């Protein structure tokens, strides 16, 4: 395992994922890529043009904080990337597959059963779509 991907957002569950990914990266001397997916919303019918959930500055702040967290957990070779997509799990797995990632680390938002049924689960969808092992940090 030489390339680890950690998908993050601006929620608390990302910290557990970053801590684990940083420790894995350190122990395995693997490169760590931190990926933020800036979700595209709107743009359907008469709702107006599509827009990204975060501004460029907000995305930069999320990634800077994530890199700092991963480095404090032991990661030394950290790269940050932001992509835009309507489908978060697809964006994560697509990036991983096209960039030779060996392992994906994601957080778990701790949604209840009703929320998962209605909104889905990014971590579950990543696990089912990924071409490589996936670790869900709690």
CATH of the domain at 63: 3.40.50.620
CA atoms within 13 A on the CB side of 78: 27
Question: What does pTM read for this prediction?
Answer: 0.89
138/133 Cα distance (integer angstroms): 16
Residue 111 domain boundaries: 3-137
What pLDDT tens digit does each residue of the chain (138 aa) get? Answer: 899 999 999 888 899 999 999 999 999 999 999 999 999 987 777 667 888 989 999 999 999 999 999 999 999 999 999 999 999 999 999 999 999 999 999 998 754 443 333 345 899 999 999 999 999 998
Structure tokens at 89: 């799990």
DSSP E strand boundaries for 76-130:
78-85, 103-107
28/18 Cα distance (integer angstroms): 15
* Distance linking the first and last C-alpha atoms of the chain: 22
Question: What is the tally of structural domains in the chain?
Answer: 1
């Amino acid at each position: 395992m030489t390339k680890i991907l950690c998908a993050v957002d601006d929620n608390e569950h990302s910290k557990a994922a970053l801590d684990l990914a940083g420790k894995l990266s350190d122990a395995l001397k693997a490169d760590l890529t931190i990926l933020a997916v800036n979700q595209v919303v709107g743009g359907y019918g008469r709702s107006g043009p599509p827009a990204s959930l975060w501004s460029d500055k907000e995305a930069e702040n999320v990634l800077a904080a994530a890199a700092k967290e991963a480095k404090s957990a032991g990661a030394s070779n950290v790269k940050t990337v932001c992509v835009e997509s309507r489908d978060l799990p697809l964006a994560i797995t697509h990036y991983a597959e096209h960039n030779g990632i060996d392992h994906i680390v994601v957080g778990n938002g701790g949604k209840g059963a009703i929320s998962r049924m209605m909104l889905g689960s990014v971590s579950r969808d990543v696990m089912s779509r990924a071409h490589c092992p996936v670790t869900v940090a709690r």
